[in-house]
Structure 1
Amino acid sequence: MSNNLLLEKQLCFRIYSLNKLMCRLYAPILKDLALTYPQYLAMLVLWQHKEGISVKALGSQLDLDSGTLSPLLKRMETQGLLSRVRQSKDERVVIIKLTAKGIALQQDAEHIPEKMFGVTGLTPEKLKSLTLDLDQLITHMSN
């Protein structure tokens, strides 16, 4: 068997394992906010766009297709976190806007990044370096 085919030599497996671990660590924290991890990611984008953002732009930022994003947004709308409104000048465009409840939830989530950073064991400098490395990897592999 080729040494290249050992599981521990696969970058993809490390990333896969890290993703699963991060989701498990986020789950109990997000449960207090009644959010799933994908909903939390959507809220992070929406908190940056309180004036509203199109479904297409949100999907682009989260790298989610409409088949995945639409049910997620529907559940969040049912929770009272956001509203979906068709743009009057082009009814094909749906704008997502946070409700007062969705905006208020940001304050309850303020502690999450610090709490999650605490479990990484990384220094701020190492986190910045790792983030840059991962961004470069994503950019390189996306081309």
Structure 2
Amino acid sequence: MKRFTAENTQRTNGQGANRDPNSDVFTNLPRIPTFSPKTGDTFDSYIVRLEMHFKTYEWNDQKKFIALSNLITGDALKTLYALSPEEQNHQSLKGVLLKKYKCTAPEYRGSFKQAIPLESQNINEFVTRLELLLDSWLELDNCKEKNL
């Protein structure tokens, strides 16, 4: 736990993770701001953006966990400290944070079923939003493609 505290204090201007050139975790990672619900961020949109970076750089679970733990503050960071050593991995932290910020299967199901195009959305953007809602709903409901 001390390692995560030290890493969190090494942020640059509170904007994103440690940029130590000797750290392979943050090599070539674009500057990603910390998650801050006070600025209107929603955790589900934040985690989607972060997961895109993880996929692009093909990071393993440990690197994802370290990166995410460095990009959360406040109450979200307190959630990290409440994890047992067995739960200190990316999937567990992501799952706990999704629940904390009410990003649950029933929430996504409701949003999916009630979705209508926003005034500012074209049809492609609306379909993409529906796909993200459906994927999130099914992932959190532990549905597999073969079960559909």
**TM-score band (shorter)?**
under 0.3
By percentage of residues, which structure has more strand?
1
TM-score (norm 2): 0.27
